[in-house]
Structure 1
Amino acid sequence: MLMYTKDEIQKITKKLIKRTNSANPFRIAENLNVNVIECELGSILGYYKYYKRNKYIVINQNLDEAMKLIVCSHELGHAVLHARVNTPYLTKFTLFSESKIERDANIFAMYILQHLGKWNYYVFINILKLPETIIELNREALP
Protein backbone atom coordinates (compact mmCIF):
# COMPACT_ATOMS: atom_id res chain seq x y z
CA MET A 1 0.00 0.00 0.00
CA LEU A 2 1.29 3.42 -0.94
CA MET A 3 1.90 6.05 1.68
CA TYR A 4 1.28 9.69 0.79
CA THR A 5 2.42 13.07 2.03
CA LYS A 6 -0.05 15.94 2.46
CA ASP A 7 1.42 17.61 -0.64
CA GLU A 8 0.94 14.47 -2.74
CA ILE A 9 -2.67 14.15 -1.59
CA GLN A 10 -3.28 17.82 -2.38
CA LYS A 11 -1.91 17.33 -5.92
CA ILE A 12 -4.09 14.25 -6.42
CA THR A 13 -7.23 16.10 -5.31
CA LYS A 14 -6.45 19.11 -7.52
CA LYS A 15 -6.02 16.84 -10.54
CA LEU A 16 -9.29 15.03 -9.80
CA ILE A 17 -11.19 18.29 -9.40
CA LYS A 18 -9.76 19.62 -12.64
CA ARG A 19 -10.39 16.35 -14.52
CA THR A 20 -13.99 16.00 -13.31
CA ASN A 21 -14.70 19.77 -13.28
CA SER A 22 -16.22 19.33 -9.83
CA ALA A 23 -15.28 19.25 -6.15
CA ASN A 24 -18.47 17.39 -5.28
CA PRO A 25 -17.36 13.97 -3.99
CA PHE A 26 -20.50 12.29 -5.36
CA ARG A 27 -19.79 13.61 -8.88
CA ILE A 28 -16.12 12.69 -8.63
CA ALA A 29 -17.07 9.16 -7.54
CA GLU A 30 -19.49 8.85 -10.44
CA ASN A 31 -16.83 10.05 -12.88
CA LEU A 32 -14.36 7.46 -11.49
CA ASN A 33 -16.96 4.66 -11.68
CA VAL A 34 -17.10 4.31 -7.91
CA ASN A 35 -20.57 3.10 -6.91
CA VAL A 36 -22.11 5.16 -4.11
CA ILE A 37 -24.90 3.46 -2.19
CA GLU A 38 -26.97 4.89 0.65
CA CYS A 39 -28.59 2.47 3.07
CA GLU A 40 -29.48 1.93 6.73
CA LEU A 41 -26.26 1.47 8.72
CA GLY A 42 -27.31 2.19 12.30
CA SER A 43 -24.48 4.03 14.06
CA ILE A 44 -22.02 3.42 11.21
CA LEU A 45 -21.34 6.50 9.07
CA GLY A 46 -20.08 4.62 6.03
CA TYR A 47 -17.38 2.42 4.55
CA TYR A 48 -15.41 1.64 1.38
CA LYS A 49 -15.40 -1.81 -0.24
CA TYR A 50 -13.40 -3.20 -3.16
CA TYR A 51 -14.95 -6.35 -4.61
CA LYS A 52 -14.32 -8.09 -7.93
CA ARG A 53 -12.62 -5.04 -9.48
CA ASN A 54 -15.51 -2.79 -8.43
CA LYS A 55 -15.36 0.05 -5.93
CA TYR A 56 -18.22 0.82 -3.54
CA ILE A 57 -18.82 3.64 -1.10
CA VAL A 58 -21.64 2.87 1.31
CA ILE A 59 -23.10 5.81 3.24
CA ASN A 60 -25.63 5.85 6.06
CA GLN A 61 -28.87 7.18 4.55
CA ASN A 62 -29.87 8.79 7.86
CA LEU A 63 -27.04 11.33 7.86
CA ASP A 64 -27.69 14.97 7.05
CA GLU A 65 -26.34 16.34 3.78
CA ALA A 66 -23.22 17.88 5.36
CA MET A 67 -22.23 14.57 6.96
CA LYS A 68 -22.93 12.69 3.72
CA LEU A 69 -20.48 15.04 1.96
CA ILE A 70 -17.85 14.42 4.65
CA VAL A 71 -18.33 10.65 4.63
CA CYS A 72 -18.37 10.44 0.84
CA SER A 73 -15.20 12.55 0.63
CA HIS A 74 -13.43 10.40 3.22
CA GLU A 75 -14.43 7.11 1.58
CA LEU A 76 -13.55 8.51 -1.84
CA GLY A 77 -10.09 9.09 -0.39
CA HIS A 78 -9.85 5.37 0.27
CA ALA A 79 -11.14 4.57 -3.23
CA VAL A 80 -8.50 6.81 -4.83
CA LEU A 81 -5.53 6.38 -2.50
CA HIS A 82 -5.99 2.80 -1.28
CA ALA A 83 -8.15 1.35 -4.04
CA ARG A 84 -7.78 -2.36 -3.27
CA VAL A 85 -7.87 -2.11 0.50
CA ASN A 86 -11.23 -2.70 2.16
CA THR A 87 -11.53 -0.28 5.04
CA PRO A 88 -13.24 -0.73 8.38
CA TYR A 89 -16.56 1.02 8.76
CA LEU A 90 -16.36 4.71 9.53
CA THR A 91 -17.48 6.06 12.88
CA LYS A 92 -16.73 9.39 14.50
CA PHE A 93 -13.86 7.62 16.26
CA THR A 94 -12.27 6.14 13.13
CA LEU A 95 -12.71 9.41 11.27
CA PHE A 96 -9.94 10.69 13.54
CA SER A 97 -7.93 7.50 13.83
CA GLU A 98 -4.16 7.60 14.09
CA SER A 99 -3.73 4.96 11.36
CA LYS A 100 -1.97 6.11 8.20
CA ILE A 101 -4.75 4.91 5.90
CA GLU A 102 -7.40 6.86 7.86
CA ARG A 103 -5.16 9.91 8.07
CA ASP A 104 -4.70 9.85 4.29
CA ALA A 105 -8.47 9.61 3.74
CA ASN A 106 -9.10 12.49 6.17
CA ILE A 107 -6.57 14.72 4.42
CA PHE A 108 -8.06 13.81 1.03
CA ALA A 109 -11.55 14.66 2.35
CA MET A 110 -10.41 18.03 3.69
CA TYR A 111 -8.85 19.07 0.39
CA ILE A 112 -11.95 18.01 -1.53
CA LEU A 113 -14.29 19.75 0.91
CA GLN A 114 -12.22 22.94 0.97
CA HIS A 115 -12.75 23.25 -2.78
CA LEU A 116 -16.51 23.37 -2.21
CA GLY A 117 -15.87 26.83 -0.78
CA LYS A 118 -17.54 26.56 2.60
CA TRP A 119 -15.36 24.02 4.34
CA ASN A 120 -12.24 24.30 6.42
CA TYR A 121 -10.72 22.41 9.33
CA TYR A 122 -12.81 24.22 11.94
CA VAL A 123 -16.11 23.74 10.12
CA PHE A 124 -15.23 20.07 9.67
CA ILE A 125 -14.55 19.67 13.42
CA ASN A 126 -17.61 21.68 14.43
CA ILE A 127 -19.95 19.49 12.35
CA LEU A 128 -18.53 16.38 13.99
CA LYS A 129 -18.75 17.96 17.47
CA LEU A 130 -15.57 16.27 18.62
CA PRO A 131 -13.92 16.87 22.00
CA GLU A 132 -11.09 19.42 22.14
CA THR A 133 -8.51 16.70 22.91
CA ILE A 134 -9.24 14.97 19.61
CA ILE A 135 -9.13 18.29 17.78
CA GLU A 136 -5.69 19.08 19.21
CA LEU A 137 -4.30 15.60 18.49
CA ASN A 138 -5.37 15.72 14.86
CA ARG A 139 -4.79 19.35 13.91
CA GLU A 140 -1.39 18.55 12.41
CA ALA A 141 -2.79 15.64 10.41
CA LEU A 142 -5.13 17.87 8.44
CA PRO A 143 -4.39 20.68 6.00
Structure 2
Amino acid sequence: MYIETKKLADKLARNHGTRDPIRISDDLGYILINTPLSGIRGYYQYVRRCSIIYLDTELSDEERSFVCAHELGHSLLHKNLNRIFMDTRTHMVTSRYEIEADHFAVELIYSDDDLCEYTDCTFDTVARSLGISYSLAEYRMRSLRQ
Protein backbone atom coordinates (compact mmCIF):
# COMPACT_ATOMS: atom_id res chain seq x y z
CA MET A 1 0.00 0.00 0.00
CA TYR A 2 2.96 2.36 0.60
CA ILE A 3 3.75 2.67 -3.10
CA GLU A 4 0.11 3.33 -3.97
CA THR A 5 -0.40 6.05 -1.36
CA LYS A 6 2.92 7.72 -2.17
CA LYS A 7 2.31 7.72 -5.92
CA LEU A 8 -1.23 8.97 -5.51
CA ALA A 9 -0.22 11.75 -3.11
CA ASP A 10 2.66 12.88 -5.33
CA LYS A 11 0.46 12.79 -8.44
CA LEU A 12 -2.23 14.90 -6.76
CA ALA A 13 0.34 17.44 -5.56
CA ARG A 14 1.91 17.63 -9.01
CA ASN A 15 -1.42 17.93 -10.86
CA HIS A 16 -2.79 20.61 -8.52
CA GLY A 17 0.45 22.50 -7.89
CA THR A 18 0.01 22.25 -4.13
CA ARG A 19 0.14 19.86 -1.21
CA ASP A 20 -2.69 21.69 0.56
CA PRO A 21 -5.49 19.12 0.91
CA ILE A 22 -8.15 21.80 1.26
CA ARG A 23 -7.18 23.42 -2.05
CA ILE A 24 -6.93 20.01 -3.72
CA SER A 25 -10.38 19.04 -2.40
CA ASP A 26 -11.79 22.32 -3.73
CA ASP A 27 -10.11 21.73 -7.10
CA LEU A 28 -11.65 18.25 -7.27
CA GLY A 29 -15.10 19.71 -6.64
CA TYR A 30 -15.51 18.23 -3.17
CA ILE A 31 -17.91 19.90 -0.80
CA LEU A 32 -16.19 20.86 2.46
CA ILE A 33 -18.49 21.36 5.41
CA ASN A 34 -17.26 22.79 8.70
CA THR A 35 -19.65 21.77 11.43
CA PRO A 36 -19.58 20.81 15.09
CA LEU A 37 -18.97 17.06 15.26
CA SER A 38 -19.43 15.24 18.51
CA GLY A 39 -16.55 12.90 19.24
CA ILE A 40 -15.02 12.78 15.76
CA ARG A 41 -12.72 15.11 13.86
CA GLY A 42 -14.11 14.52 10.40
CA TYR A 43 -15.61 12.05 7.97
CA TYR A 44 -16.10 11.48 4.27
CA GLN A 45 -19.41 10.83 2.57
CA TYR A 46 -20.28 10.09 -1.05
CA VAL A 47 -23.91 10.93 -1.81
CA ARG A 48 -25.59 11.26 -5.20
CA ARG A 49 -22.26 11.56 -7.03
CA CYS A 50 -21.08 14.25 -4.61
CA SER A 51 -17.97 13.87 -2.47
CA ILE A 52 -18.42 15.58 0.88
CA ILE A 53 -15.83 16.05 3.62
CA TYR A 54 -17.10 17.09 7.04
CA LEU A 55 -14.60 18.79 9.36
CA ASP A 56 -15.13 19.60 13.03
CA THR A 57 -15.22 23.33 13.72
CA GLU A 58 -13.02 22.88 16.81
CA LEU A 59 -9.96 21.82 14.77
CA SER A 60 -6.87 24.03 14.57
CA ASP A 61 -5.67 24.94 11.07
CA GLU A 62 -3.01 22.19 11.21
CA GLU A 63 -5.50 19.59 12.42
CA ARG A 64 -8.02 20.70 9.81
CA SER A 65 -5.42 20.22 7.08
CA PHE A 66 -4.46 16.75 8.31
CA VAL A 67 -8.06 15.60 8.80
CA CYS A 68 -8.98 16.89 5.34
CA ALA A 69 -6.02 14.98 3.84
CA HIS A 70 -7.04 11.87 5.79
CA GLU A 71 -10.64 12.07 4.52
CA LEU A 72 -9.41 12.82 1.00
CA GLY A 73 -7.39 9.61 1.32
CA HIS A 74 -10.54 7.68 2.22
CA SER A 75 -12.32 9.15 -0.79
CA LEU A 76 -9.57 8.12 -3.19
CA LEU A 77 -8.45 4.83 -1.64
CA HIS A 78 -11.70 3.52 -0.15
CA LYS A 79 -14.45 5.25 -2.09
CA ASN A 80 -16.78 2.26 -2.17
CA LEU A 81 -16.45 1.34 1.51
CA ASN A 82 -19.14 2.31 3.97
CA ARG A 83 -17.03 2.66 7.12
CA ILE A 84 -19.93 3.73 9.31
CA PHE A 85 -21.88 0.62 8.31
CA MET A 86 -18.81 -1.58 8.74
CA ASP A 87 -18.12 -0.19 12.22
CA THR A 88 -21.69 -0.41 13.49
CA ARG A 89 -23.15 -3.43 11.68
CA THR A 90 -20.27 -5.86 11.10
CA HIS A 91 -17.34 -7.36 12.95
CA MET A 92 -14.84 -6.30 10.30
CA VAL A 93 -11.68 -4.62 11.51
CA THR A 94 -11.54 -1.21 9.86
CA SER A 95 -8.32 0.06 11.43
CA ARG A 96 -6.40 -0.92 8.28
CA TYR A 97 -8.35 1.68 6.30
CA GLU A 98 -7.69 4.34 8.94
CA ILE A 99 -3.96 3.60 8.83
CA GLU A 100 -3.95 3.80 5.02
CA ALA A 101 -5.75 7.15 5.13
CA ASP A 102 -3.25 8.44 7.73
CA HIS A 103 -0.34 7.30 5.56
CA PHE A 104 -1.86 9.04 2.55
CA ALA A 105 -2.29 12.23 4.60
CA VAL A 106 1.37 12.42 5.66
CA GLU A 107 2.53 11.55 2.14
CA LEU A 108 0.38 14.35 0.71
CA ILE A 109 1.17 17.06 3.25
CA TYR A 110 4.92 16.42 3.67
CA SER A 111 6.95 16.03 0.49
CA ASP A 112 10.31 14.26 0.50
CA ASP A 113 11.98 17.66 0.03
CA ASP A 114 10.16 19.07 3.07
CA LEU A 115 11.55 16.29 5.23
CA CYS A 116 15.20 16.35 4.14
CA GLU A 117 16.13 18.56 7.09
CA TYR A 118 14.89 15.85 9.48
CA THR A 119 16.92 12.91 8.14
CA ASP A 120 19.29 12.93 11.14
CA CYS A 121 16.53 13.48 13.71
CA THR A 122 14.80 10.92 15.89
CA PHE A 123 11.24 9.94 15.09
CA ASP A 124 10.18 11.62 18.32
CA THR A 125 11.77 14.92 17.22
CA VAL A 126 10.09 14.67 13.82
CA ALA A 127 6.72 13.92 15.44
CA ARG A 128 6.97 16.90 17.78
CA SER A 129 8.23 19.23 15.04
CA LEU A 130 5.47 18.31 12.60
CA GLY A 131 2.70 17.86 15.16
CA ILE A 132 1.97 14.26 14.15
CA SER A 133 2.01 10.99 16.05
CA TYR A 134 5.23 9.06 16.62
CA SER A 135 3.96 6.18 14.46
CA LEU A 136 3.20 8.52 11.54
CA ALA A 137 6.59 10.22 11.89
CA GLU A 138 8.26 6.80 11.89
CA TYR A 139 6.26 5.67 8.83
CA ARG A 140 6.96 8.85 6.85
CA MET A 141 10.66 9.00 7.68
CA ARG A 142 11.12 5.31 6.83
CA SER A 143 9.30 5.88 3.53
CA LEU A 144 11.62 8.81 2.84
CA ARG A 145 14.63 6.51 3.18
CA GLN A 146 13.28 3.94 0.70
Q: TM-score per shorter chain, which class?
A: 0.7 to 0.9
1:78 to 74, 79, 84: 74
What is the distance in 2 between the residues matched to 1:69 and 1:38?
12
2:23 to 27, 44, 60: 27
What is the distance in 1 between the residues matched to 2:137 and 2:44?
22
Greater share of helix: 2
Deviation at 1:138, TM superposition (A): 9.2
List aligned pairs for 1:38-53, cutoff 5 A: 38-53=34-49
* Paired residues of 2:16 and 2:24 also in contact (CA < 8 A): yes
Secondary structure of the residue that 1:23 maps to in structure 2?
A: coil
Write the deviation string for residues 48-99 of structure 1: whole angstroms up to 9, x where unpaired.
11111111110001111111011001001011111232434xxxxxxxx972
Secondary structure of the residue that 1:75 maps to in structure 2?
A: helix
Residue 127 of structure 1: aligned partner: 131
* Pairs aligned (count): 125
Q: TM-score, normalised by structure 1?
A: 0.72
**RMSD after superposition:** 3.1
Q: TM-score, normalised by structure 2?
A: 0.71
* Paired residues of 2:127 and 2:137 also in contact (CA < 8 A): no
What is the distance in 2 between the residues matched to 1:136 and 1:107?
10
In structure 1, stretches of 5+ residues that fail to align are 89-96
2:49 maps to amino acid: R
In structure 2, stretches of 5+ residues that fail to align are 85-92
* Paired residues of 1:34 and 1:54 also in contact (CA < 8 A): yes
Question: What percentage of aligned pairs have identical amino acids?
Answer: 27
What is the distance in 1 between the residues matched to 2:16 and 2:94?
30
Residue 68 of structure 1: aligned partner: 64
